[in-house]
Copies of this chain bind each other. A is one copy, B any other.
């Protein structure tokens, strides 16, 4: 058990940890206060004693997971002069590592993913404290990469394109695994390999790296870029 060593002597902390894992695995409705308390080695009454009710326990456990995650995965920082393309690769790599990394994705990510997919009250806080700053960094890199030639709205769409590519593997990873032949999933769909692909794809779209295929099909003018 990866986290059990860090299991605090403080019962409040223990419950928070067990709750996070349980909520992440089963979802809010299916997770039961009794199971959480059993896993935490606490009495059922402890939840109401420390948190009031199940709902507030949920909110707290999301915040707790989020803070723990922020602590162990600091935002990327670069030495001045680092090429923007390198920054992009680093950013995508660390995002994918955070999402898919390690042996299996930690329960904190699962829990946060649930919030993103079906937001509750805890979501806004999550976005403001965790998502938006990261997104801001990405936008900065993209702005640098495009030589500040694009309007902000366009840069944002580029950013969402990048995040979307990574997000798919995390949110719908099981389906992706079904769509890709068995052997390939290990060889071509590691966090590293995906990061390489997403980076290359994006740099090519921006025009900083070579495109995937050379034109010359005669279809170039068939669809002008909108506007």
A residues at B contact (CB < 8 Å): 27, 29-30, 83-86, 88-89, 116-119, 123-124, 127, 131-132, 135, 145-147, 149-150, 153-154, 156-158, 160-161, 163-169, 171-172, 174-176, 178-180, 184, 187-188, 194, 196-217, 219-220, 222-226
Given A171-B117, A174-B119, A219-B83: A160 touches B150 (CB 8 Å cut-off):
no
Are A160 and B165 in contact (CB-based, < 8 A)?
yes
Contact of A147 among B171, B206, B217 (CB under 8 A): B217
Known A-B contacts A117-B172, A164-B165, A226-B196; A212 and B127 likewise in contact (beta carbons under 8 Å): no
Query: In angstroms, how far is the closest chain B Cβ from the Cβ of A79?
Result: 14
A211 touches which one: B132, B163, B178, B206 (CB < 8 A)? B206
Q: Point out the residues of chain B lying under 8 angstroms from A223, CB to CB.
A: 83, 85-86, 88-89, 199, 203, 209
Quickly give the copy total for this chain: 2
Contact B212 A206 (CB under 8 A): yes
What are 17 of the A-B contact pairs (CB < 8 Å)?
A: A84-B219, A86-B223, A116-B174, A124-B178, A131-B175, A131-B178, A154-B212, A156-B184, A161-B198, A161-B201, A165-B165, A167-B168, A167-B171, A197-B226, A200-B225, A203-B223, A205-B212
